[in-house]
Every structure is written in C-alpha cells, then in structure tokens.
C-alpha cells in the first residue's frame, strides 16, 4: 500500500494542482465579466451572490472532475478545462438573456434569479461533464 500510494502521489498532486489553477483562472475571469462584485457582495452577506457564484463554481467543477477521472494526460485536463470554462461563461450569458434584470437582481439580493442562474450553471455543468466522457 505505501509504495503504491507514494508512486501515485505525484499524479495526484499534478492533477489537483492543475485543477485548482483552472478553478482559480475561471473564477478570476468570471468575476471580471460580471458587472457586479460577487466577492464583495458575499462578504457583505448577499445570499443571491453566494448562490449564483456557488452554482457557477460547481457547474465548472463537475466537468473538471469528470475529465480527471477519464483523461490520460494533464494536457487533456487543461484543454477540457478551457472548454468547461467557455461553456459556463455561455451559460451565464444565456441567463442574462433570459433574465434581463439579472445584473440588477443579484446585487439587490434577489434570490430567485440567483437560484435560476445557479441551477442553469449546474445543469450545464452536468451535461458538459457527460459530454466529456471518452
């Protein structure tokens, strides 16, 4: 057991490191394309911002987790991570189209639109993850 564990540890650390980097990079892009400051809103107790951002992060993490389970290389993980990010950003823009006042609703703390955005992000993430099975 210890020999196998130590043999696999570098792979774990590499995949985990790339995944955390992808998550951080996605988060940085996402919070910069939205017209409201999610982190500031969350720090001030805005539940709507917490719900929407949480759903988006989980929607991004689902395909990343699936790729880790099925990929052969770190390059696969990175490439599919970019695809997952683009798909999540598209989901956000679809939500903005469907709910034109979303950019006002989340800073105002309206939970219903935030919940819709979170559910849409999770749904897209699940479908995205399923499509990344090879």
Q: Say how far apart CA 12 and CA 116 lie, in whole Å.
A: 34
- 7 pLDDT band (50/70/90 cuts)? confident
Q: Which domain holds residue 87?
A: 15-131
Q: Say how far apart CA 122 and CA 54 lie, in whole Å.
A: 9
pLDDT for the residue numbered 63: 97
Number of domains into which the chain is organized: 1
Does residue 26 lie in a domain region?
A: yes
| Three-class SS of 64-106 | HHHHHHHCCCHHHHHHHHHHHHHHHHHHHHHHHHHCCCHHHHC
Does residue 8 lie in a domain region?
A: no
Q: Encode pLDDT of 100-134 as tens digits.
A: 999 999 999 999 999 999 999 999 999 999 998 76
Q: Encode pLDDT of 30-74 as tens digits.
A: 999 999 999 999 999 999 999 999 999 999 999 999 999 998 899
């Amino acid at each position: 057991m210890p020999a196998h564990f130590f043999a696999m540890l570098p792979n774990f650390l590499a995949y985990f490191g790339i995944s955390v980097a992808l998550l951080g990079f996605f988060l940085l892009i996402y919070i910069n394309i939205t017209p409201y400051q999610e982190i500031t809103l969350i720090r001030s107790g805005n539940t709507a911002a917490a719900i929407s951002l949480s759903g988006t992060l989980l929607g991004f993490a689902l395909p990343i987790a699936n790729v880790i389970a099925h990929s052969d290389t770190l390059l696969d993980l990175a490439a599919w991570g970019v695809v997952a990010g683009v798909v999540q950003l598209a989901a956000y823009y679809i939500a903005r189209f469907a709910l034109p006042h979303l950019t006002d609703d989340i800073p105002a703390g309206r939970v219903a639109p935030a919940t819709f955005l979170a559910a849409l992000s999770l749904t897209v993430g699940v479908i995205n993850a399923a499509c990344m099975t090879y």
